[in-house]
């Protein structure tokens, strides 16, 4: 089983017990369980070695409060040998300065446009490749993640008149020429398509908790808003296998500059 999360009614516990009774010798695996939700029949094993995250991103994850303070999240174990490449330094878009609107980064078209420019610089959506070289990054290789549901797409009435524009960050990314699809919370079919890389070749924007456990080569974290911003940022960063991009409100500047040599865009 993959990405199973037990709840207060313990359906996973009942499932394990019934399978154990009816299928002798069955080997059952469960991944990404919430703390304290392990069925008694399962043996807990903690895997803490970063297998796909580059050192530059791993260091950023380790600097997050939930890791640095030892709160509910285990620290990484040391790699048996150094990796041949440190990886790309995280990029930072600061929601401050000329062209940035008021409110949170998710409402800011300028922040979205700067994110789109970074994706263009990375060659996301490119088509040209030479024999023997890696394929260019596709749009579906990118997540734009938030911790709360403050992102929304445009809505129109029956006549086609726009009654509510899309969130500023989505408008800005699209203005930079990047196709992006918003995955709504509760869209099970959409999550299935994202997990299997199905559907159109678009960047996916969604809450980090709705795609928890899924990885992408490029992960953009849009901070701010209500909710547990620190934990969401930890989840988002740990899902990145290559380039991490952080969109931060002004109040995060001090903590951002203290971790790694992040490149600023504003």
Residue-by-residue DSSP string for 114-177: HHHHHHHHTTTT-----TTSPPPPPGGGEEEEESSS-----EE-TTS-EEEPPPHHHHHHHHTT
How far, in Å, CA of 17 to CA of 39, rounded?
9
Tens digits of residue pLDDT in 151-210: 888 888 888 888 888 999 999 999 999 999 999 888 889 999 999 998 899 999 999 888
What is the reported pTM? 0.80
CATH 3.40.50 boundaries in the chain: 55-265
Helices (H), the chain: 11-22, 55-63, 65-68, 109-121, 168-175, 188-195, 229-238, 253-257
The CATH classification number of 55-265 equals 3.40.50
Residue 194 has what pLDDT?
Answer: 93
- Its sign, for the CA torsion 223, 216, 113, 58, is positive
Tens digits of residue pLDDT in 51-84: 788 889 988 888 877 776 656 677 788 777 777 7
pLDDT mean over 43-58? 83
How far, in Å, CA of 30 to CA of 14, rounded?
14
Contact assessment for residue 179 and residue 85, using Cβ atoms and an 8 Å cutoff: no
């Amino acid at each position: 089983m993959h990405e199973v999360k037990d709840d207060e009614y313990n359906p996973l516990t009942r499932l394990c017990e019934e399978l154990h009774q009816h299928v002798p010798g069955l080997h059952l695996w469960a991944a990404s369980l919430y703390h304290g939700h392990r069925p008694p029949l399962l043996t807990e094993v903690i895997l803490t070695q970063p297998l796909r995250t580059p050192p530059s991103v791993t260091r950023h994850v380790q600097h997050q409060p939930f890791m640095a303070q030892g709160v509910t999240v285990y620290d990484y174990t040391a790699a048996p040998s150094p990796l041949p490449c440190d990886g790309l330094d995280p990029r930072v878009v600061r929601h401050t300065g000329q062209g940035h609107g008021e409110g949170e980064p998710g409402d800011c078209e300028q922040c979205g446009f700067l994110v789109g420019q970074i994706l263009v610089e990375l060659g996301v959506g490119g088509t040209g490749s030479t024999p023997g070289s890696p394929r260019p990054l596709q749009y579906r290789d990118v997540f734009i993640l938030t911790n709360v549901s403050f992102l929304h797409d445009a809505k129109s009435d029956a006549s086609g008149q726009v009654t509510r524009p899309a969130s500023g960050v989505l408008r800005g990314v699209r203005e930079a020429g990047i196709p992006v699809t918003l995955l709504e919370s509760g869209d099970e079919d959409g999550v299935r398509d994202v997990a299997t890389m199905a559907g159109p070749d678009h960047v996916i924007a969604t809450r980090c908790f709705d795609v928890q456990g899924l990885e992408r080569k490029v992960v953009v974290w849009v901070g701010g808003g209500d909710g547990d911003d620190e934990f969401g940022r930890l989840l988002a960063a740990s899902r990145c296998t290559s380039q991490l991009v952080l969109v931060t409100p002004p109040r995060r500047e001090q903590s951002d500059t203290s971790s790694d040599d992040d490149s600023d865009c504003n």
